[in-house]
């Protein structure tokens, strides 16, 4: 049985990956969808050719038993793992609840690592792992401090893991989009906005996912959608981070 496993499949980028991967003729028998809520995942029914199986899990608290038991029992060929589960909160560090700051680390870093650890033994040759990072991974971001740090972890982990497993015919890509028009920002901006001008750079999830899949199948380590975000990546390599952070802080003060 050939499957794809997608976390964060109840909305946004996760669901879009299901829609687009289903059209790629990968010969998938099933999508195993992981999220806390089942009902939103069921909205995909009738639009997907492959069978959908649901794994209702809170990746920050569950012991992953329903997923690991299914893997051990059925021993599927995992052709694609997409780690989409994650969230962010914006605002000054001390103005964000401790549970939210710690929760970002638990979901964006620890859960992604744990899912990868559980699934990787079942990923077969000529298969792929996609980890959803962010353009925030390229630079530290005041008022987005913990989120940006978690995505730096995802980027670093993905690049290192790719070098470990590609000799086995497995390829890992980190997707590093800028702002994407999904429910993400409805949650993120409950505690403030790090930079109002980001709305000028808002991308459509359909285009970001299409680029991510194309880059992944081209065996690229990093997928960055849009000229502005590619420019940010280049800037992070060329300019001293201290200067960029000082400019960013001044912009934030000006926004206030």
> Residue 231's pLDDT is what?
57
Per-residue pLDDT band for 72 (boundaries 50, 70, 90) equals: very high
pLDDT at residue 195 greater than cutoff 70: no
**pLDDT above 90 covers what percent of the chain?**
69
**CATH architecture of the domain with residue range 2-255:** 3-Layer(aba) Sandwich (3.40)
pLDDT at residue 184 greater than cutoff 90: no
- Residue found by looking up tokens 């979901």 in the block: 107
Q: What is the mean pLDDT of residues 212-241?
A: 75
pLDDT tens-digit series, residues 10-35:
989 999 999 999 998 678 999 999 99
Higher-confidence residue of 64 and 187: namely 64
Q: What is the mean pLDDT of residues 242-246?
A: 65
> Residue 240's pLDDT is what?
62
Q: Which of 105, 27, 120 is nearest to 68 (CA)?
A: 120
Which residues are within 8 A (CB) of 195 and not within 5 positions of it... i.e. 6 or more apart?
Answer: 143, 248, 251, 252, 255
> Residue 199's pLDDT is what?
59
Q: Which of 151, 101, 145 is nearest to 131 (CA)?
A: 151
pLDDT tens-digit series, residues 202-212:
679 999 999 99
Q: What CA dihedral angle connects 256, 253, 141 and 85, to 10 degrees?
A: 0
C-alpha separations of 142 from 8, 89, 105, 163, 251 in Å: 26, 12, 17, 31, 11
pLDDT at residue 251 greater than cutoff 70: no
- The span from the CA of 5 to the CA of 55, in Å, is 10
> Residue 244's pLDDT is what?
61
* Domain locations in the chain as residue ranges: 2-255
Per-residue pLDDT band for 225 (boundaries 50, 70, 90) equals: confident
- The span from the CA of 212 to the CA of 152, in Å, is 18
Q: Enter the pTM of the model.
A: 0.86
- Residue found by looking up tokens 């050939």 in the block: 2
- The span from the CA of 213 to the CA of 209, in Å, is 6
Higher-confidence residue of 256 and 252: namely 252
Per-residue pLDDT band for 188 (boundaries 50, 70, 90) equals: very low
Across the chain, what does the average pLDDT equal? Answer: 87
pLDDT tens-digit series, residues 160-175:
999 999 999 999 999 9
> Residue 205's pLDDT is what?
92
> Residue 140's pLDDT is what?
86
């Amino acid at each position: 049985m050939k499957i794809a496993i997608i976390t964060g499949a109840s909305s946004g980028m996760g669901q879009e990956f299901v829609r687009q991967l289903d059209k790629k003729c990968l010969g998938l028998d099933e999508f195993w969808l992981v999220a806390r809520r089942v009902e939103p995942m069921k909205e995909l029914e009738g639009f997907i050719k492959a069978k959908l199986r649901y794994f209702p899990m809170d990746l920050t608290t569950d012991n992953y038993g329903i997923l690991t038991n299914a893997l051990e029992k059925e021993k599927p060929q995992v052709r694609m793992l997409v780690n989409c589960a994650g969230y962010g909160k914006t605002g000054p560090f001390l103005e964000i609840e401790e549970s939210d700051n710690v929760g970002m680390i638990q979901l964006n870093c620890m859960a992604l690592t744990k899912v990868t650890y559980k699934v990787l033994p079942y990923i077969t040759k000529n298969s792929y792992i996609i980890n959803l990072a962010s353009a925030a991974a390229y630079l530290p971001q005041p008022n987005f401090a913990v989120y940006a740090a978690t995505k730096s972890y995802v980027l670093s982990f993905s690049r290192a893991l790719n070098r470990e497993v590609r000799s086995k015919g497995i390829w890992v890509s980190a997707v590093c989009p800028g702002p994407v028009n999904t429910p993400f920002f409805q949650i993120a901006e409950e505690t403030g906005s790090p930079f109002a001008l980001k709305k000028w750079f808002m991308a459509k999830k359909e285009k970001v996912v299409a680029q991510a899949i194309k880059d992944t199948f081209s065996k690229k380590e990093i997928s960055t959608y849009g000229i502005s975000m590619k420019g940010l990546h280049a800037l992070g390599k060329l300019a001293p981070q201290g200067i960029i952070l000082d400019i960013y802080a001044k912009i934030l003060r000006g926004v206030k």
